[in-house]
Amino acid sequence: MVDFSDIKGFTFDLDGVITDTAKFHEQAWRQLASELHVNWSDELGNQLKGIGRMDSLNMILAASGEQDKYSEEEKQAFTVQKNTHYVELIQKITPADILPGITAFLAEIKDRGYVASIASASKNAPKILEKLGITDNFVGIVDPATLSHGKPDPEIFIKAGQLLQLEPHQIIGLEDASAGVQAIKAAGQTALGIGESAKSADPQLWVESTVEITLEKIEHELMISENKV
């Protein structure tokens, strides 16, 4: 377990960490599932958290045994269809949609000289940060189009760490998805998990809700886990 004094930066997931777009992704996928007449379950919705567009579609089709039914072109068209639903849902996002505690935490880390970057699988991330008015809080955003593997592969968090110009042990990654927590840990960073899905991947630090995230809490939790070992 790392020492709090080693920490110099944060890699943030976006959907479900900074703003509750996770619910819009779920809604848009559910709509597509209904258009394709395939099964939907809350459990499936949960498993899709943090998973990229095409991987998500493949999981949805596989859940109904239809993974081989469509051509690549058809599947591409379905992901575009899902994104059209999603983009419609995010039109009305404003700074008021930043999750509780996150605006204060971003201000706190900025004041104290920490750096932050975005490790989101979403190609819509720049647009959403813009709508939330917090683009300038981040030194960079990993472009998911440049990735060979999605979460739980560590690649996106490794790249987000490189944007910070820090070593993995100097970084805390924030995630609400199980696949994301696995990715942070595999990148050698310290995972701060938020909510139930993140908990299942056993993050080093965990909070039930974003409202609890402060530097003081992180320092305290790191100290406790240090003493446990």
Residues taking part in catalysis: 13, 15
Residue 176 interacting with Mg ion (CB under 5 A): yes
Sheet holding 190-194, edge to edge: 140-141, 115-118, 9-12, 171-175, 190-194, 205-207
Cis ω before 152 (30° cut-off from 0): yes
Query: Are the CB atoms for 175 and 14 separated by under 8 Å?
Result: no
- If DSSP codes are grouped into helix, strand and coil, which group holds residue 60? helix
Least Å from the CB of residue 228 to ligand BG6: 31
Least Å from the CB of residue 168 to ligand BG6: 21
Residue 52 interacting with ligand BG6 (CB under 6 A): yes
- Using the minimum distance from each CB to ligand BG6, give the nearer residue, 143 or 226: 143
* CB proximity list for 191: less than 8 A, separation 6 or greater: 172, 173, 175, 181, 184, 185, 198, 201, 203, 204, 205
Residue 177 interacting with Mg ion (CB under 5 A): yes
Least Å from the CB of residue 59 to ligand BG6: 10
- Which range in 2-10, 45-53, 74-82, 148-156 contacts Mg ion by CB under 5 A? 45-53
Binding residues with Mg ion: total (CB under 5 A): 6
- Using the minimum distance from each CB to ligand BG6, give the nearer residue, 33 or 48: 48
* CB proximity list for 65: less than 8 A, separation 6 or greater: none
Residue 26 interacting with Mg ion (CB under 5 A): no
* CB proximity list for 228: less than 8 A, separation 6 or greater: none
Query: Are the CB atoms for 142 and 163 separated by under 8 Å?
Result: yes
122 binds, among ligand BG6, Mg ion, none (CB under 5 to 8 A by kind): ligand BG6
Residue 83 interacting with ligand BG6 (CB under 6 A): yes
Residue 58 interacting with ligand BG6 (CB under 6 A): no
Task: State the Cα–Cα distance between residues 199 and 156, nearest whole angstrom.
Answer: 20
Using CB under 5 A as the criterion, what x/- string covers residues 87-106 for binding Mg ion?
A: --------------------
83 binds, among ligand BG6, Mg ion, none (CB under 5 to 8 A by kind): ligand BG6
Residue 15 interacting with Mg ion (CB under 5 A): yes
Q: Do β-strands 205-207 and 115-118 pair in parallel, antiparallel, or remain unpaired?
A: unpaired
Residue 51 interacting with ligand BG6 (CB under 6 A): yes
- Using the minimum distance from each CB to ligand BG6, give the nearer residue, 138 or 170: 138
CB neighbours of residue 46 within 10 Å = 15
Q: Give the binding site for ligand BG6 (CB under 6 A).
A: 14-15, 22, 25, 48-53, 56, 83, 120-124
